[in-house]
Amino acid sequence: MKSRLLRWLVCPQCFGDLTLFAAQSGRSSLDADDHEILERVAPIGSSEEIEVEIMSGALGCQACGVYYPIHNGIPRMLTYSSEVAEVHARGNAAWLSEHLGNYKLPSGSPPPGEENVLRNFSTEWTGYKWTGDGYWNVSTENALNCKRYELGLGKHSLRDKLVLEVGIGIGGTADMLSRKERCEIVGIDLGYAVDQAQHYFGKNPLLHIVQASIFAPPFRPNTFDVVYTHGVLHHTFSTSAAFRSVAPLAKEKNGMLYVWLYSHEHEKVTTLRRLLMSIEGLVRPVLSRLPKAGQTAALLPTLPFYILYQNLHVRRKYGAANTAKYGWNEALHAARDRLTPPFAHRHTYEEVAEWFESAEYAHLEMLRDEQPPDSVPESYRQNVGIRGFRREAAASDK
Ligand SMILES: C[S@@+](CC[C@H](N)C(=O)[O-])C[C@H]1O[C@@H](n2cnc3c(N)ncnc32)[C@H](O)[C@@H]1O
Ligand SMILES: [Zn+2]
């Protein structure tokens, strides 16, 4: 965890300030270009802020009497007990009793089904060997084009902005966006994908990685210039409740929020797809409850279909340079993503637009109205992708 993150990180239970207790930290220096970007996003207070990285320690909230572990360089901000918090407590017992004797681990209750969401997505990401060649079905270079299209970067620059990605997964797009668009990004994710993200991209000084849930974000309202989330909110017990939890995080008076969610329309684009989606609806609730080995065994027979569909159909349609080649590793990752999440809700543009309006967002922009570059798969706009800009909250909400 970079010290600078403490500017924005707060207790997810009470929004109070956190005290940093560092057990193990290191120092690294910043090149002039990155220094300039950070300075423009938020003026740098001291060299400590940008040079010191905490590898192990804790963040204490005095008001709640709880501490959040920093483990493997990542602040773990879950408000209920978790495997990583227990591992950290066992490995640092003497240090914790010396420095945080009066603090306890958080012991709240998770939102419905969230522990199983955490387990399944953690399996999906930690078992995936990222090669650097692509993200999902697109090549790495084209993944950046896709994000530029989604976020409307032709009209809304990210330059010098503070950005939050909700559900970063392995963190590759946040890494690219921060470097290419010259912004500072905080990425949260519920699961142990954050450890993969830290492994691959932890050295990027423009990127902060945090383990936290959408339902208890460790940030105050009105913090970020831009908040975006792709393929995440529909994997929670309630997409609309997840939306209401992230909507206040963008700044009033023009903070941008972008969400991308599965749609009903995309489910029905072809008869084959309709059939596959019906099968998915039956199989997913069963697979999501199985242990990892059982899931893997059940998914293995589907992998040749993923590989053939991607390598023969998708690559021909969008061009080899724009798409990723699937082997077993990529196919298993895609199959897990489709068939093991406990929740995968579908929505309409109209429904999600109403959520934006109820959360005081205006000037909505919809991907279905925007022609993408040829390299961007059609599924981007066949699903629901909406950007909105936050108004000033009504006095009654303050
Ligand atoms: C399908 S993946 C998408 C990852 C990334 N946005 C991408 O497009 O590659 C969904 C991600 O949402 C995360 N997620 C699910 N529920 C979450 C929650 N309550 N809070 C934060 N992240 C969550 C999962 O851990 C997973 O990494
Ligand atoms: Zn607190």
pLDDT given for residue 398 in this prediction:
44
C-alpha distances (whole Å) from 86 to each of 80, 81, 263 are 11, 8, 38
Say what the pLDDT of residue 328 is: 96
* pLDDT value of position 213: 98
CATH 2.20.25 fits 3-109, yes or no: yes
What are the sequence ranges of the domains in the chain? Answer: 3-109, 111-398
For residue 245, which ligand has an atom nearest its CA?
1
**Alpha-carbon gap, residue 248 to 260, rounded angstroms:** 17
Q: Show the ligand 1 pocket: residues with CB < 6 angstroms.
A: 114, 117, 121, 125, 167, 169, 188-191, 193, 213-215, 230-232, 235-236, 337
Task: List the residue whose alpha carbon is closest to atom 20 of ligand 1.
Answer: 213
Determine the atom of ligand 1 nearest the C-alpha atom of 230.
6
Q: What is the pLDDT along the chain (398 residues), one digit of tens a residue?
A: 999 999 999 999 999 999 999 999 999 989 999 999 999 999 999 999 999 999 999 999 999 999 999 999 999 999 999 999 999 999 999 999 999 999 999 999 999 999 999 999 999 999 899 999 999 999 999 999 999 999 999 999 999 999 999 999 999 999 999 999 999 999 999 999 999 999 999 999 999 999 999 999 999 999 999 999 999 999 999 999 999 999 999 999 999 999 999 999 888 878 888 888 899 999 999 999 999 999 999 999 999 999 999 999 999 999 999 999 999 999 999 999 999 999 999 999 999 999 999 999 999 999 999 999 999 999 999 999 999 999 986 554 44
Residue 255's φ and ψ, nearest 5 degrees, are: -60, 140
Ligand 1 pocket mutation pick from 82, 198, 232, 249 by most atoms within 8 angstroms of CB: 232
206: how many CB neighbours lie within 10 A of its CB?
22
pLDDT of residue 146: 97
Phi, psi for residue 253 in degrees, rounded to 5 = 60, 65
What predicted TM-score, i.e. pTM, was given to this entire model? 0.97
> What residues form DSSP beta bridges with 106?
none
Q: How far is the CA of 232 from the centre of ligand 1 (A)?
A: 4
Angle between helices 328-339 and 114-126 (to 10 degrees): 170
d(CA 329, CA 353): 37
Our measurement of the distance from residue 123's CA atom to the centroid of its chain's CA atoms, rounded to an integer in Å, reads: 16
Q: In degrees rounded to 5, what are phi and psi of residue 220?
A: -80, 155
* CA atoms of 156 and 177, how far apart (whole Å): 13
pLDDT at 394: 58
Does the domain at 111-398 match CATH 3.40.50.150? Answer given as: yes
Identify which of 215, 222, 270, 254 has the alpha carbon closest to the alpha carbon of residue 363.
254
Dist. CA 191 → ligand 2 center (Å): 22
